[in-house]
A and B are shown apart, each in its own frame.
Chain A
Amino acid sequence: MKRLLINPRFCKGCGICAAFCPKSALELKDGKAALKERCSCILCGLCEQRCPDYAIFLRDEVGA
């Protein structure tokens, strides 16, 4: 099982991940990428592909 992780230290708030998310699952909160509360993320990874700052990525959930 994969999980979407966001690193606010790297995020510069460009909004590319949110704009191209096919499920509109992402938004900018206080200038940083964040999953919306009612999350419809399908773990497609398109945000990771286009994040210029390597701040959002999928990771295999350990022990899940």
Chain B
Amino acid sequence: MSELRLLQGNEACVEGALAAGMRFFAGYPITPSTEIAERCALRLPQKGGKFIQMEDELASIAAVIGASVAGVKAMTATSGPGFSLMQENIGYASLAEIPCVIVNVQRCGPSSGLPTSPAQGDYMQARWGTHGDHPIIAISPSTVQEAYTLMIRCFNLSEKYRVPVIFLMDEIVGHLREGTEFPAAESLELYERVSSPVMGIDKHCYQVEEGEWAPRLNPFGRGERYNITGLIHDEGGFPTNNKATARALISRLLDKIDRNTEDICDAREYRMEDAEIAVVCYGGTVRSAMAAVERARAEGARVGMFRPVTVWPFPEARLRAWLPQLKGLIVAEHNHGQMLLEVERVARRPARMIGRVNGTLIPPDEIYAAIMEDNV
């Protein structure tokens, strides 16, 4: 049976994670994400799980990867400065293929920035924050309900593709309170990590089965003895400088996302059916955009909203499908134009940018005004 609760986004994301089977959280306090750590501290021992407050964000993500290596679904939560500190080990998880979920409740930066006003300035960092070419998935919720349901999707994708998944929240959604429905546990679709039969001395722990994209690394302690490293490694998990092996590994890591975008990518369209103008936005900006679209529609404008849910990889096929009918593209995001670059890349034409970098919200009026200007 489902239940209805009044929760803020940060709390809902913890409940979603618990429903997904998350049983380990390591984190460090930082506004506006702290309620996530607080709720994990309260809720995890009730579920037999473990919470630990680490000494910093470097340690938090490291402990999360460690717990995942031991077979437990694990996550951390942070905001801008802490997200910056986590980047090195996010790359480690990408390369070593250790599933984990990192919640980033974005605040206004750079540096300590404007604590803790809303922003979406970590959009590019979520993709490119760690060094080197690497796979990553990022998902952005725009309601408290989605903070719950999309969190489950984060864990499912992370476990399936053995890739770190960034839950790119923002202060708006994190601190918003809304009625949230908790679906009945039986109705949830949960993806459990695929393991392989215990092979004793596992010489090829990183070998990928035919038709699969990620290796079936069993948790430590299951019966194998194998090696995990942040160095480029062969299928046995050992460091190598072999150029062909390096190319094969990195290609596979990137391909496992790039060749599965149909499964991974998600977007929502709102009143797009006959739209000639699309407002592209995500996360906490979505409500302003919807209000603006409604108002402009009432005045006869053919406008809709296109909203990436999977913000990385960018759902480009979905957007491309609308391009033939579109005359105008407006991107609204709480930064100086980051997803704008993706939209323009996919559309191959300039888009109008509505941005904010001072910690204030983009009001519906401003988006409405832009729609009406384009609607001539």
Do any beta carbons of A and B sit within 8 angstroms of each other in the complex? no
Residues of A bordering B, CB below 8 Å: none
Residues of B bordering A, CB below 8 Å: none
